[in-house]
């Protein structure tokens, strides 16, 4: 057994959502790709290291950058087998272990999707990424050579460290990945409002896709609606009922006409379009595989479901749900990986100085087309059009690249 585990990576305990979220109070056992025994105390490896200041430091701000050289708490130690899943969740060292494991988990997911190792954008100046789990601050940030996390505070004055919130960690890693894959706009060029908004939106999607790699989250999301994500989402119920923070963020109904220039607000239609496409691809596949008996997709307007059709969907999914749960879970995993791969492989198609949601959306369509999934590309284009990001679906034709054929706005 030890040899099998050693070949499966290094074990960590990670919370899929903040541990104060109902249903997520216990961490899930996960493996990261580092071979067991290769992660040093800290934790630390050749790409990053966790360091926990003994006394709270102010947030990094240029020109003050890593490495942190002050006194620190004892590092998280691996067990005799080289794993970190033995550390009690209330131990101070668990903060560093959870942060390191979460960052490594996000890197494994997105390097798998993009298909290559992603170097840090600061690699010419600093060798490794510094991870600071807790400082006296009500925020978190991704910067040049570091990720550092503060805490949320409840009305009762209880502190909730962001380093135990996978959503927040994955979001900050998302920024670092985009800086590496897309880069920064050329000096002196204003990239426009979509560049920063795209950063925020894709970082939210990094969190969402990371969440969907946890069995706990997948099971809860599916069981909540008996696998029926389309009706719950498009009737604006999914986002209201869900405990998952990132699902609430991306499961929105905002269009470009509803948002302004503030980056987080402006990102909502793009993340919503991506989420719409993910959910619709999932449901189309469920029907195509005969898992659920539903009317043909062509007669369903997914954004205008009346009460009768909503009941039809609910009845079809709930019928013998327990017998279908794992088949539905497999379909959701397939849709997740298809869209995750398309998003990651769209990054090299973008110019940091000219990022717009139109270009970004059609880049995803291009990749889906190249993957032989023109059907998914058409779904994505229709979702972009409904959000007001592109003028109308159908600009591209089979066998052509969406980004070259469409009239961009």
- What's the DSSP call for residue 319? T
Same domain, 197 and 55: no
Same domain, 135 and 252: no
Same domain, 258 and 198: yes
CA distance 409 to 406: 9
- Asked whether residue 58 is domain-assigned, the answer is yes
Same domain, 177 and 31: yes
Q: Give the model's pLDDT for residue 235.
A: 30
Same domain, 163 and 262: no
- Asked whether residue 307 is domain-assigned, the answer is yes
Domain count along the chain: 2
- Asked whether residue 281 is domain-assigned, the answer is yes
CA 34, distance to chain mean position in Å, is: 21
Boundary residue ending a domain (181, 206, 238):
181
CA 363, distance to chain mean position in Å, is: 18
Among the listed residues 83, 88, 96, the one whose alpha carbon sits nearest the alpha carbon of residue 32: 83
Same domain, 197 and 161: no
Boundary residue ending a domain (126, 158, 181):
181
- Asked whether residue 187 is domain-assigned, the answer is no
Q: Which residues of 182-191 are buried (b: 16+ CB within 10 A; e: fewer)?
A: beebeeeeeb
CA distance 267 to 196: 9
Same domain, 15 and 100: yes
Q: What global pTM score does this model have?
A: 0.90
- Asked whether residue 188 is domain-assigned, the answer is no
The domain spanning residue 103 has which CATH number? 3.10.170.10
Q: Which residues of 146-171 are buried (b: 16+ CB within 10 A; e: fewer)?
A: bbbbbbbeeeeeeeebbbbbbbbbbb
Q: Give the model's pLDDT for residue 404.
A: 36
Tokens of 216: 């706990």
Same domain, 120 and 147: yes
Among the listed residues 31, 41, 39, the one whose alpha carbon sits nearest the alpha carbon of residue 9: 31
Boundary residue ending a domain (151, 181, 211):
181
- Asked whether residue 186 is domain-assigned, the answer is no
Spatial contact of 386 and 253, defined as CB atoms under 8 Å apart: no
Same domain, 199 and 99: no
Q: Give the model's pLDDT for residue 164.
A: 96
Q: Give the model's pLDDT for residue 306.
A: 67
Same domain, 381 and 240: yes
Same domain, 318 and 200: yes
Q: Give the model's pLDDT for residue 296.
A: 63
Angle between helix axes 193-211 and 321-346 (nearest 10 degrees) is 150
pLDDT per residue as tens, the chain (409 positions): 333 334 579 999 999 998 988 889 999 999 999 999 999 999 999 999 999 999 889 999 988 899 999 999 999 999 999 999 999 999 999 999 999 999 999 999 999 999 999 999 999 999 999 999 999 999 999 999 999 999 988 878 888 999 999 999 999 999 999 999 999 888 877 888 999 999 999 999 999 999 999 999 999 989 988 998 865 543 333 333 445 666 656 778 889 999 999 999 999 999 999 999 999 999 999 999 999 988 765 444 555 566 777 788 888 999 999 999 999 999 999 999 999 999 999 999 999 999 999 999 999 999 999 999 999 999 999 999 999 999 866 544 333 344 433 333 3
Same domain, 260 and 281: yes
Residue 142 bridge partners (DSSP): 147
- Asked whether residue 263 is domain-assigned, the answer is yes
Among the listed residues 332, 323, 106, 333, the one whose alpha carbon sits nearest the alpha carbon of residue 233: 332
How many Cα atoms occupy the beta-carbon half-sphere of 77 within 13 Å? 4
Spatial contact of 136 and 153, defined as CB atoms under 8 Å apart: no
Range of the domain at 124: 2-181
Element (H, E) at 377: helix 374-386
The backbone torsions φ and ψ at residue 91, rounded to the nearest 5 degrees and listed phi first, read: -75, 140
Considering Cα of 83, then 36, then 52, then 119, what sign does the dihedral take? negative
- Asked whether residue 217 is domain-assigned, the answer is yes
């Amino acid at each position: 057994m030890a040899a099998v585990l050693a070949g499966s990576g290094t074990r960590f305990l990670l919370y899929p959502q903040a541990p104060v979220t109902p249903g997520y109070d216990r961490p899930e056992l996960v493996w990261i790709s580092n071979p067991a025994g290769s992660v040093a105390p800290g934790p630390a490896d050749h790409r990053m290291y966790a360091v926990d200041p003994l006394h709270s430091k102010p947030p990094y701000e240029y020109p003050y950058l890593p490495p942190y050289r002050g006194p620190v708490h004892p590092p998280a130690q691996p067990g005799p087998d080289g794993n970190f899943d033995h550390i009690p969740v209330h131990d101070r060292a668990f903060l560093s272990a959870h942060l390191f494991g979460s960052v490594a988990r996000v890197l494994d997911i997105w390097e798998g999707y993009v298909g290559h190792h992603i170097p840090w954008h600061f690699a010419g100046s600093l060798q490794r990424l510094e991870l600071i789990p807790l400082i006296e601050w009500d925020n978190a940030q991704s910067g040049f050579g570091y990720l550092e996390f503060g805490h949320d505070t409840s009305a009762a004055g209880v502190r909730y460290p962001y380093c135990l919130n996978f959503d927040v960690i994955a979001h900050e890693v998302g920024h670092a990945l985009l800086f590496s894959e897309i880069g920064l706009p050329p000096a002196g060029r204003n990239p426009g409002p979509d560049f920063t908004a795209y950063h925020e939106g894709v970082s939210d999607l990094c969190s969402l896709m990371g969440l969907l790699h946890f069995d706990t989250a997948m099971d809860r999301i599916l069981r909540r609606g008996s696998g029926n994500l389309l009706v719950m989402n498009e009737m604006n119920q999914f986002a209201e009922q869900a405990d998952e923070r990132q699902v609430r963020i991306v499961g929105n109904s905002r269009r470009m006409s509803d948002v302004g220039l503030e980056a987080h607000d402006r990102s909502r239609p793009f993340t919503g379009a991506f989420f719409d496409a993910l959910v619709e691809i999932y449901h189309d596949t469920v029907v195509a595989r005969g898992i659920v008996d539903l009317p043909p997709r062509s007669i369903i307007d997914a954004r205008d479901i009346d009460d009768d059709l909503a009941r039809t969907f609910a009845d079809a999914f709930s019928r013998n749900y327990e017998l279908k749960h794992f088949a539905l879970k497999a379909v959701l995993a397939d849709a997740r990986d298809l869209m995750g791969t398309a998003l990651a492989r769209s990054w090299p198609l973008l110019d940091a100085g000219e990022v717009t949601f139109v270009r970004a959306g059609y880049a995803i369509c291009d990749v889906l087309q190249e993957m032989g999934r023109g059907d998914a590309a058409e779904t994505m284009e229709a979702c972009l059009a409904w959000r007001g990001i592109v003028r109308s679906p159908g600009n591209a034709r089979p066998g052509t690249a969406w980004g070259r054929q469409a009239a961009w706005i």
